Structures are given as C-alpha cells and as structure tokens.
Amino acid sequence: MESAMSAGIAVAEALQNQLPWLENVWLWVNFLGDPKSLFLFYFPAAYYASRRVGIAVLWISLIAEWLNLVFKWLLFGDRPFWWVHESGYYSQAPAQVHQFPSSCETGPGSPSGHCMITGAALWPIMTAISSQMATRTHSRWVRMIPSLAYITFLLAVGLSRVFLLAHFPHQVLAGLITGAVLGWLMAPQVPMERELSFYGLTSLALLLGTSLIYWTLFTLGLDLSWSISLASKWCERPEWVHVDTRPFASLSRDSGSALGLGIALHSPCYAQRQGIKRKRESCKLT
C-alpha cells in the first residue's frame, strides 16, 4: 500500500508541474464533480427535462453519499495532503506539490466521494440520453456518445482529485467502480409513487443507521475523528478546513433531502400540478 501511495504522489506531482496550464481546468472539473453540485444544479436541470430522471438523480445522490460516508468510516483511507507529512515521504523523496482550498477535506479518503457519488447519480442521465439517441439514430457511434461523455467526465473528475492532493489514484478507481455499479443497480429502483411515511422513515433510517455505526465503532475503540485532526494539522491554511466537509455534514444533507423529497411530492401544489398535467394529457389523447 505504501508503494501505491508513493506512486499516487508522483502522479499528483506530474499533474501539478508538467501541465500547469491545466490548473483552472482541474479546478472547474472538481467543482462540477462535487456532490453538492448534484443537489444544487444537476437535480433541478434533470427534473426540468424529465420528472423521473430528476427524482432518480436526487434519490441516488443521497443514498450513494450516505454509503460513501459509511465506506470511509470502515476503510480508514488517508488523503495525500496529510499522508506526505505523516509518512515521512518528504524526508525520503521531497515532492514538488502544493495544496489548494479544495484539498483540505476532513473526511477519510477511500473511496473518492466525488467519483462514487457523482458517478452513481449521473448514471440515469446518461442512460436516459442514450435511450433517446437510440430512438433517433441507427449509428452505433452516435449512440455511444453519452456513455463516452460519462466515462470521460468521471475520469477527468478523478484526475482533478489527484491533482488537488485530495485522493490517491486507487481511491479514485474505487470510487469510479463503486459509483457506476451503484448507478446501474439503483436506477431501476427509484421510488416514484410512495407514501410520505416511506420518505420520512428513509430519512430517519439514514440518521439512526449512521448513529448506530458511529457509536458501534466508537465503542470498539476506533477514533472516527482522526481524519479531522490530521486535516487541521497539515492543511496549509486554517481557513481552508471547511465544516461542510465533515462526515456528519453530508448526513444532514442526505436525510434532509430524503424527507424534503417526500414532502415535495405530497404537497398540494405538486398534486394540483400533476392533476392539471393529467387532464392535458387526456385531452390530447381524446
């Protein structure tokens, strides 16, 4: 594992020093691949285009983010920006790498959340576009464009995380594979017409499940705040350590999104709008 981490630092050094003109590109890709962007941008845009795809993006995002939190607690992955100091790597082979404001995330590093969560959530968008193109063209190459764009974007997100010293390549690879598998498994299982209690119980299950896992590991003597301490210790600037990168911040977003989705789908405004839409569709059919 030490050799894999050393190789990861070498890759990050090459990205930072051999291709300095791509710095702004990596920073933008990192922003576009941030799980928070799924809730703020991708979900509203997808919902505007297709109700089912939009709900799928939100649902898969919150479940994948919760699973990513659990995986990180269980796998105890280091992040490059603190590992180079804690391991003594600098004293053995000084690396010409530097940090960025997005480097100092406080959660454990394995697997990459950017790759895992974004990869899972963008799966229904990719498959929806692919099916649309399949009905409009017989060209095999044209039908492959959405899949190629999906893979290219996720690879770029992974490289941006290595560039920022936020993840090692093997953590990125784990996130990419896990995200694609989750997207493939969860896309057909999106809850579209469920009772409000289902969403409320889902929100409660996320909170209670995480608390149970946390206190179980804590009782076993595992310090789950170890990554926060290392991030605060080795981040170049204290202001780069953000509260919203802590594990329980994502849990609040996920449980709130699950409950909010249920309330929104059962609100009178939404029901009235759906009723008007059904009337219009029946008129068109007549």
Number of H helices, E strands in the chain: 16, 0
Which pLDDT score, from 0 to 100, does residue 165 have? 94
Q: Which residues are catalytic?
A: 114, 167
CA 140/CA 138 separation, integer angstroms: 6
| CA 76 to chain centroid | 18
Cα distances (angstroms) measured from residue 21 to each of 32, 161, 276 = 19, 17, 52
* Burial of residue 55, with CB atoms counted within 10 A of its CB: 0-12 exposed, 13-18 middle, 19 or more buried: buried
8-state DSSP, 63: H
8-state DSSP, 19: -
pTM score of the predicted model:
0.91
Closest among 34, 200, 64 to 124, alpha carbons compared: 64
Sign of CA dihedral 17, 19, 21, 24: negative
DSSP conformation letters of 127-179: HHHHHHHHHH---HHHHTHHHHHHHHHHHHHHHHHHHTTS--HHHHHHHHHHH
CA 170/CA 155 separation, integer angstroms: 13
| 70 token code pair | 């659990």
CB atoms within 10 A of CB 222: 13
163 touches 26 (CB < 8 A): yes
123 touches 60 (CB < 8 A): yes
Residue-level pLDDT, tens digit, the chain, 286 residues: 778 888 898 999 999 998 888 999 999 999 999 999 999 999 999 999 999 999 999 999 999 999 999 999 999 899 999 998 888 776 666 778 899 999 999 999 999 999 999 999 999 999 999 999 888 888 888 889 999 999 999 999 999 999 999 999 999 999 999 999 999 999 999 998 889 999 999 999 999 999 999 999 989 998 888 999 999 999 999 889 987 777 788 889 999 999 999 998 888 766 555 554 544 433 332 2
CA 79/CA 93 separation, integer angstroms: 18
